[in-house]
């Protein structure tokens, strides 16, 4: 019992560490690659891309009008046309880091 509790505490602590590490390592370059793969068909993901889908907000617009927290929260939930849970928490942070590179 004691050993099991210790293991639980340990894995919880490791989980927190891993989370902090991943947050620090949010990688906008990887985010751009993911966006080009998964989001570009609907969202304008660069400054000069031609309009994709009329009702999907552009990334530069999102950067000016949404916070990092709001975007991460949004992407953690099922997205209109995207399959639920398609993105891992790390991928979400990378994509949001990329979106935020457009903030002036």
- Residues forming contacts to ligand HEC in the complex (CB under 6 A) are 35, 38-39, 41-43, 53, 55-57, 62, 66, 70-71, 74-75, 79-82, 87, 95
Residue closer to ligand HEC, measured from CB, 2 or 51: 51
Partner residues linked to 82 by β-bridges? 79
For the CB of residue 2, give the shortest distance to ligand HEC in the complex, in Å. 44
Residue closer to ligand HEC, measured from CB, 26 or 39: 39
Among 67, 87, 68, residue whose Cα is nearest residue 79: 87
Q: How far apart are CA 26 and CA 4, in angstroms?
A: 33
For the CB of residue 23, give the shortest distance to ligand HEC in the complex, in Å. 17
Among 34, 26, 56, 30, residue whose Cα is nearest residue 44: 56
- DSSP letters along 19-65, please? HHHHHHT--HHHHHHHHHHHTTTTS--SSSPPP--TTSPPHHHHHHH
For the CB of residue 57, give the shortest distance to ligand HEC in the complex, in Å. 5
Residue closer to ligand HEC, measured from CB, 35 or 100: 35
Residue closer to ligand HEC, measured from CB, 18 or 76: 76
């Amino acid at each position: 019992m004691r050993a099991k509790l210790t293991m639980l505490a340990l894995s919880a602590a490791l989980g927190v560490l891993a989370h902090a590490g991943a947050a620090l390592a949010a990688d906008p370059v990887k985010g751009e690659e993911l966006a080009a793969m998964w989001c570009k068909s609907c969202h304008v993901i660069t400054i000069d891309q031609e309009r994709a889908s009329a009702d999907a907000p552009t990334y530069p617009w999102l950067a000016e009008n949404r916070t990092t927290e709001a975007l991460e929260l949004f992407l953690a939930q099922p997205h209109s046309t995207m399959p639920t849970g398609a993105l891992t928490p790390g991928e979400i942070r990378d994509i949001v880091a990329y979106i935020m590179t457009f903030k002036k």
